[in-house]
Amino acid sequence: MKQTVKVKPSTNEKIVVDAKGKDTKQLNEILRQLVAQGHTHIELKNVFGQRYIGTDLRKPVQIDIYGTPGNDLGSFIEGPRIVVHGNAQDGCGNTMNDGKIVIHGHAGDITGFAMRGGKIFVRDDVGYRVAIHMKEYKGKKPVLVIGGTAQDFLGEYIAGGILIVLGLTLKRDEKHRANFIGTGMHGGVIYLRGNVAPHQLGKEVSILKLTKEDLRELRAYVEEFASHFHFDSEEIMREKFIKLLPLTLRPYGKLYAY
């Protein structure tokens, strides 16, 4: 049954929606109605696994989520700002084009899958194959900042954008957990704070020292991350970072050349 929300159109008042008992289709229909009515700040309470929240909302609406959203949170978004006051599941920011996602907890596998614009900030750890196929698109440069660490195949096939992993959940001198970092990488840049062994890297990437320009760019995103989660950006920047770049723009070109 189609869900109908009868409220006065307003662009200032925060609207609170109780998601308890509503399935994915019902909840997203309510969101579309509220945005069409002109509301710019929506709070979702009791979210429990509903998928695709924020999809098909092409306006700069803020959505605060309390609970645990399901897969593909913010997929294909163009403009919304989504704040999750807890954890997110798999596929967060799938192919997002613009906007921002802030997660006050952990995020699952394939976070930032094929994202081509916008920003994602995750306070804690993420799962496997994060930032896979991330790319730059028509002048847009996606940014994904992870406060903790990641599992295997971090930055797999990354073709553009900026991926930053801060390692704040690791003990001192503990190495990052991911293996096959940057496997198939052919664009973009990965900044890692902390320690990683050479065998953890994909054979397509090289380790470089940061330039002054790199540090300026990195500092800006670390400061933005710190502002969301109340960290000390100066303390974060005091630790050593490494920069990962692809050795070639066509790592598998010889496989397809005749």
Q: What is the dihedral of CA 55, 58, 63, 68, to 10 degrees?
A: 10
Mention every residue, 6+ apart, whose C-beta is less than 8 A from residue 148: 106, 122, 123, 124, 125, 126, 166, 167, 168, 169, 170
Residues in the chain: 258
pLDDT of residue 139: 87
**The CATH fold of domain 106-256:** Pectate Lyase C-like (2.160.20)
Q: Which of 57, 60, 59, 108 is nearest to 84 (CA)?
A: 108
Confidence of residue 147 (pLDDT cuts 50, 70, 90): very high
Kindly list the strands in the beta sheet with 187-193, ordered across the sheet, starting from the edge strand earlier in the chain: 15-18, 41-48, 62-68, 78-84, 98-103, 119-122, 143-146, 159-165, 187-193, 241-246, 205-208
pLDDT at residue 229 above 80? yes
In the chain, where the domains are located = 1-83, 106-256
Residue 199 to residue 86: CA distance in whole angstroms? 33
Residue 27 to residue 44: CA distance in whole angstroms? 9
Terminus-to-terminus CA distance in the chain, angstroms? 56
pLDDT at residue 156 above 80? yes
pLDDT of residue 11: 54
Per the CB < 8 A criterion, the answer to whether 154 and 131 are in contact is yes
Residue appearing with tokens 């308890």:
20
Residue 244 to residue 254: CA distance in whole angstroms? 22
What are 44-101's pLDDT values in tens digits? 999 999 999 999 898 999 999 999 999 999 999 999 999 999 999 999 999 999 999 9
Q: What average pLDDT does the segment 217-222 reach?
A: 97
18: helix, strand or coil? strand
Strands (E), 69-211: 78-84, 98-103, 119-122, 143-146, 159-165, 187-193, 205-208
Q: What average pLDDT does the segment 4-21 reach?
A: 74
Q: Return mean pLDDT, the chain.
A: 92
